Structure 1
Amino acid sequence: MKHFMNLVLIKNIYIGIPMAALICYLFLLFCFLNVAEKSSEVRDLKAILSALLSWTGGAVLMRLQISPGIQFWYHVSLMGLFTIPILIYGFLFHYLDIRGKDRFLDGCMAVTVSVVLLNVFTGCILPPPEVQIMANGGISYHYHAKTGIWLLAAAEIILLVYVTLLAHKKIGGQLEYRKKLGPLLIGTLLIMGGNILCVMPWSGDFPFDTLGGVGMAVCFVYIIYKQYLFSFSMRATTGAVYLIAVVVAFLPMIILEPNIDHVIGQTDSFTKQFITVFVVLQCLWMVLVMSYARKWLERILYQKKKHIVESLVEFQDMAASILNKKELYQKIRSTVSSAVPDSYARIFEKRDDHFVECTADGDRVLDIEEEARLRSFCGTGGIHKKPEIAVFKYDDKIYGFLYVELHRKNRLIYDEADCIRQIANSVSGALKNISAYEKVYQVSIHDELTGLYNRSYCSEFMKNLDIKEHPTGMIYLDMDNFKLYNDLYGEETGDQILRWSASQVQNLCSDKMSVFRVGSNEFLIIAEESRKEILLSFARLIQNTILEQKEDKPKVIQPITFSIGIAWDKNMAESARKLFRQARRAAFYAKGNGKNRIEIYEKSFEGQEQSREKGYEQVTPTIFALMAAVDAKDSFTFEHSENVSGYAMKLAAKMGLPKDDIQTAKVAGLLHDIGKIGIPESILKKKGKLTDEEYEVMKTHVENSIEMIHFLPNMNYVIPAVLSHHERYDGKGYPGGVKGMDIPLLGRILAVCDSFDAMVSRRAYKDALSVEYAIGELEKGKGTQFDPDVAEAFIELIEEDPSFQVKAS
């Protein structure tokens, strides 16, 4: 060791200075050895440092006269020296984003390499130095420059000026760039200046060239230390560790070299050098092999860790948006299987103070022995200690845990255990989200009043129901006379009836039945049953249960009953929606045929409609009972309704309308003012003109009529005509302000008939007007109050039919 230190630091300054520069460049290169950055600046920096190592390393080995000799290491050093400026210029161009110069630099590099190779064979630039032994035993080197070196130096100076101008133009007034890149250009000048001084005749023995290299190293360290171009803290640690490792690796060679004679005996200088070189190469080979082995191992471990991290990140991203436990648990199984090879994820959930295993095929209740063993394990705290177990916990409560069952001999590695823990943390948050979502979702799909599933969820349920694959039957329940309950007892009692009825139906239904509220007073049962007899038997059970007298049953005089429709045959319905319509239609027929009945939808229902004549006949007694009540309150209204009914029927026939429309016109004429039963007598029989307030009350008889018609089974078809008989052709009527052809035709017919009878009939507030006057008013009202075609047809009817004159008189 003493011999080596004397050689390096005392007897030969030519070795000491290059050695210092070499160590400095090794340190800098090691700083960037493990950098994962793929930027062109980092690649260029590594290339510059490699060239600097080639230059200083070649100089050191040349001065140590290591085989294969001075000339070989001299030319290695020269190659590094001449390529350094080109590589520095490349770094500047990339850092400053100066584009289009890559080919120029490649050309400069090719010329430089060619010149150095030419110098190897001819010595036309700078031949190897002359070795001289000094008086103290040291060695000095004297260079004899040729003309070519000055030409090359001039070319390098011109190139430096050119690059400097390009950089100056690019940087402009950006002082920050000058601050960062200035030291790099100074270092380049130091290298070039040092080497030029070294070949001067008057330079003596002082190593200006390597001193310039030390200056360049100082500039590099300054740039990195100031973090002008790169972060330094972590890289300095990396560089220091690698440098220490290299020094330790070469310690045996440093110790062996001065003591080699004692190891192998006296030998010549060449053999000593050969052995030394062999040891150095062996050390380098071992370092290289270990380096590649380490990188190979790191790559394997990195790929494994990367796979685990990617699986975990994917799971965490998806878990945040999963709102279904089954989907979440399936994702856990697939993620664990991917991240932990040869494993199986078992998921346990705590429910009502006992554990259930959630498998892919459904929940599995633990047997008594398993439950006891699991409770004992949890009680001892083992659930928190085992790396293969991770707890699902939120709001300070344990909701379950994940157990990773290994089907391999080796245990979990740290990254796998950490992945399991991270999965459990994500699951805990996801379960909390799912719990909150479930609460909101349940509120959104249930009816607030009855607690049954609501209509929107019914639509969603039927959309996902395949009646061809699963046996399905539907029972539609339509409460009879519900509006009567509201009118007689109030809406609060009506709500009580709905709640009670819903609870009775819900209590009768099994787990294979779902109950929905699909209308204001209508329920639907969807059963996993398609046998007609069973569905009918269940419908009868509902019917009888509703009729039973119970303590909690709302106290009303009228019995609570339902008209019930059943649909069951998948051969008559291609979808759940179609089956629903069939059940509803059957309930409609049950209501039309007397209420409190059960109808089963059959094929004969297809295309069948109840005759309007038959429907009218069924409710005729009710209609005339209502008209009698109106007559008792206002006899003019009763007579007026009969007249309008007759006029409308004749006018509809004259206009060539179908038989059903003629029947509708007749019934609508009878019912169009039935709502006046709810108008105070003081307004109905007032002899003077109505005030604005009284007129607004009078206008409500239209809505009243519609509400009362709703109580009459199978009479909804008259509603459009009754609703629109006070609309005007110009849109200034009521209640909807509809105009023109948007008014139903039968409504336009009633408007003409109603106005004509009002004019030619006597009222409490006026005498009857003549038919001629009424015809004149109809003429005036064409296109404003009346449909011109309908008014004209009625005028022709008056002129053709003498009975109009008689009625008017």
Structure 2
Amino acid sequence: MSGYSWISVISLFCYLFLFMTFLAVKKEQKVIYTFMALLVVLILWSGGSFAMRAQLWPSVNFWHYVSVCGIMLLPVMFYHFTLDFLEEKRGHGRVIWLLVFVGMLVFNQFTNLLIPTPQVVAQNGHLEFIYEYGWQVYIVFAMVILCMGQMIFLIYRHSKGDPVVFHQLLPIILGVVVLIAGHALATLPVFLGFPLDILSGVINACLLFYALYQKRLFQMTMLISRPNCFIMALIAGVVLSYRFVLPLQTFLTQKAGLQHTHAMILMAMALMMVIGLLYLLIASFFNTLFVRSGQQQSELMAAFSQEITRLLLVGDILQKLSDAIQEAVGSQRIFVLIRSGEMYKIVYTASPLEEKNFTFSQDHPLVTYFKEHTGCILYREFARTTVYRGMWESEKQLFAALELECFCPLVCENELLGLMLLSKKKSHVAYHVGDLNFLQSISTICAIALKNSCLYEKALDEARRDELTGLISRKYFYELLDREFDKAGNSALSLCVLNIDDFKLYNQLYGTNEGDLALKRVGEILAASVGENGYASRINGKEFALILPGYDTYSAKMLSENIARQIGDINSRENRIGSRLTVSIGICAAPYMASNARELLKNADAAVYSVKRSGKNGILMYSEESYGQAMERTRHQSGYNEHASTIYALTAAIDTKDHYTFQHSQNVAYYAGELARAAGLDASLVEIAKEAALLHDIGKIGVREDILNKTGSLTPEEYEIMKSHVDNAANIIRYLPSLDYVIPGVLSHHERYDGRGYPRKLAGEEIPVIGRILCIADAFDAMTSFRAYKKPVPVERAVEILKEESGQQFDPNLAGIFIQLVEDGKIELQAKTAAEIFSNNQTNSEGVHTA
């Protein structure tokens, strides 16, 4: 070799080595193709230079033009590579610069002015290739500088304010500087004959290769494939044997007496043995340096991928992830945060003793960074970013205290599911690019599994939760109770059963929509009160339960009292009858009062029943005494007989103030019962209608006697007082718990179908059916009865009024049924004459008022 041909040979082998390496790479990104195209241009440049200096066939000029072709296309391909490396979507003059440099190449082909053919000069037995550049070469330099200038501007725009991007682009910037400097210096007389431009191209290619490696677009293990190891062994063998070929040939032919052919065969065999030995040494070295750790990580990755496909729970997946990372990378601490709503919360740590008291919001700087960047990042690189400045000093101190060194996003389908924070390695060796590639790959696999697992757990959780309140469903409650009881062993475990008092009445008074809202609010109170210290469940329509691991009876009672107060505050501010919800609570604790989970539930249930029997709205801790008092739940039975004496006493008291109330209530009970039966209501509702009729005016005991017996029209103030008898009746009946089922009918017997009644101005079907029945029965008896302030109207006129007010004051369907009963003679008139009513009272006044 002569005239620095060895530099061209080395550069050519470097480019061929890189090209063959990337030829086997799985090309997922466009920048890999662009880099390979750049290598082709460099191969043309250095290969043409080598063939020219070696004076190979066909001629020096031919190989010179091949080299010039590489030189002219180099800035264009370098420009294209930079755009693809920056992931620029716009063209930014790709085609224009290609046309410019191809035009200069064609111009130089015909004129030989821009880059002239070198002069071949023999000096001291060596050939020198001397380039004599004219001023025209600066045209090429001007175009190169403009092209590189635009490229540097794009690099500046991308790296401005982002030190991490600048750090990735730094090798490319240095490559540009080295390339331009090499070409510029090659034109100086002092470097005449020395291929400084080719040497700068080699350095530039190595810098670009490092930029790709730093960006983790490929793995270092690709360089040490068998073909590459053989190429390196071949180059090393040729270089090592170059100085010994001629002396060895002389020794074998002259000293050993071998023929020339035999000597050549022997030298070839020796060279093959040297190359083979070098191949083994190089492969062994790289296997020790790269392959072993890379192979271990690949095996771990494959095993992790297989195992994780069989896992469904998030905790199991994260445990496998932690095991793989600790084995392959050796991180001391691992923190995994998963998105929950608007926050990223720690759900897993490699050590159960680690603190889990920090969370990241959606606008946290680390979250913000990973929403725009999907690759792992070292802490020292993240600290250079602008978003890092948005972190609180306390967070920076926390990261330093935890010795965090690497952050990895868990991204699936462009969605940031979570973050993984890794501390320094156990070996105290810094994280390298191979580690980051492994972490990036395993994080991607894990993110896919986590998304599927989260969907599975969400579906499972929804199946385990009550649709209305969001609390644990009845079926899952039993599973949890069994599990927690077995887990508790000899430690404390309390169970609270909560039953809302009079909830059927609440629904009847305010409708099922209001009832559902109340249940939701109760569920929210229970969930917030228990938090992560236990489980809240809805086990029946109006019944709830709390499983409280670690709670003794005293702690459970304190919690229950707080819950009862909060439930009592639901709707308590609204001025309406029966709006205050109350709750009966029974508590039982294991292992003191129950030997198994079913006995725990049975005892807590018995305590609730004891509270119900004792007047409701209370809390009772289970004991043997309360168990002895517990009874099996039975269907509701009429409580009228139980309180008949009380009711008669009250009506008798009213009768002393209003002589019509008792008989009027009896009449209304008859009419209401007949109408309810004819309307198709079941037997229990017929009885409720009759009992509600007997009690509907019981509230008049709270109205002044002068208003009750007034013979003239009531004033507005007096009328408001008279209307209060409805609320009074409901308040009185509330103290008769076994009769509270009649309250909706009593409370609504003065409501009008058109919504202009009182006290709640309900309309249409919003009015309980018992209330609509009582409205008709009460009005019919009032019209056909004799009162001190009015005379009775004939039955025919009363029927006409019912027809006229149908759809306004009365339910049209029920009114029609009642009218038909009257006209068919199936209802007997119950009103008594004035003489019968006032046989013991002398009153002859007349008046008109209704209430």
Q: Give me the TM-score of the superposition, normalised by structure 2.
A: 0.46
Q: Give me the TM-score of the superposition, normalised by structure 1.
A: 0.48
